[in-house]
Amino acid sequence: MMLKISEIFYSIQGEGKYIGTPSVFVRVGGCNLSCQGFGINLKKGGREFMGCDSIYAANPAFSDEWTIYSDKESLIDEIYHCTQEYEGNIPFDIVLTGGEPSLYFKNKVFLGMCEYFLERHHRISVESNGSVLFDFNPILQALSFTLSVKLSNAKEARAINIAALQNILDYAREVNFKFVLDVAMCESGRAQKEIDAILSKLCGSYEVYLMPLGTESKELDSNLNAILQLAMKRGFKIADRLHIRLFGDRRGV
């Protein structure tokens, strides 16, 4: 499979455990899921597409905007290039996101790029939906996984794959869960019920982060208040969406 990249840009990690860390984001094209519940509409070619806030990376209708990389050198060059307006030798993290990065876990260009930056002591985090069962190798074992497992508010029946999640817990060096929640999920009790149902079937070491749904600060604030009680009740951590507060829902920042 060719390595398809939706965008590469340098910014600040806005979510999860490493929030605030300068990071190069490598957003792959393509996803195995099609989440319909997040209420984002994007127009292209006179058609309207509904999905998640990364629909331009997830949906193949946008593939003419993606770049194909056939060698690791040009991908590595592009990753350095996007930090060039700043001083050299920046100890940036790399965040592999999408779409769904695990679709490329056998891709030689993808793995070669990871190996190159791991050897130079960059932390590489993968933001995955956790629904793809794949074979680990030493490169993948060295990555940090953030598993954004989709709950019923995503409206995607194929979202939960316990065997795939357990596989990642068994082999990855670090695993964090991230659940995106809104007022309705919290106040109905569905959030706690669904998260507990998933975690009760898994064993291993991980942290759990609850994150508010939203593409603007006002929406984040109201959803943050709703998830606060659940976080305190269950000992989960709260993760904001700093990039939304800084940049809104613009692409590439």
**Look-up: residue for tokens 């876990």?**
105
Stretch that binds ligand SF4, among 26-34, 109-117, 229-237, 239-247 (CB under 6 A): 26-34
Q: Which helix (H) or strand (E) holds 114?
A: helix 108-119
Whichever of 75 and 159 has its CB closer to ligand SF4, that residue is: 159
Number of residues that bind ligand SF4 (CB under 6 A): 13
User: What is the DSSP secondary-structure string of 58-113?
Assistant: HSGGGGGG-EEE-SHHHHHHHHHHTTTTS-SS---EEEEESS-GGGGTT-HHHHHH
When asked if residue 15 is in the footprint of ligand SF4 (CB under 6 A), the reply is: no
Distance of CA 149 to the CA centre of its chain: 10
When asked if residue 103 is in the footprint of ligand SF4 (CB under 6 A), the reply is: no
> What stretches of 150-207 show up as alpha helix (H) in DSSP?
162-171, 183-187, 190-199
Write the single-letter amino acid at 88. Answer: G
Query: Least separation, in Å, of the C-beta of 77 and ligand SF4?
Result: 26
When asked if residue 33 is in the footprint of ligand SF4 (CB under 6 A), the reply is: yes
Cα(215)–Cα(209) distance, rounded to whole angstroms?
18
Question: Within 132-191, which residues bind ligand SF4 (CB under 6 A)?
Answer: 150
When asked if residue 129 is in the footprint of ligand SF4 (CB under 6 A), the reply is: yes
- Nearest-CA neighbor of 1 among 123, 149, 134? 134
When asked if residue 99 is in the footprint of ligand SF4 (CB under 6 A), the reply is: yes
Per CB under 6 A, the list member of 5, 24, 26, 52 interacting with ligand SF4 is 52
Query: Least separation, in Å, of the C-beta of 164 and ligand SF4?
Result: 13
Residues lying near ligand SF4 in the complex (CB under 6 A): 31, 33-35, 51-52, 54, 58, 98-100, 129, 150
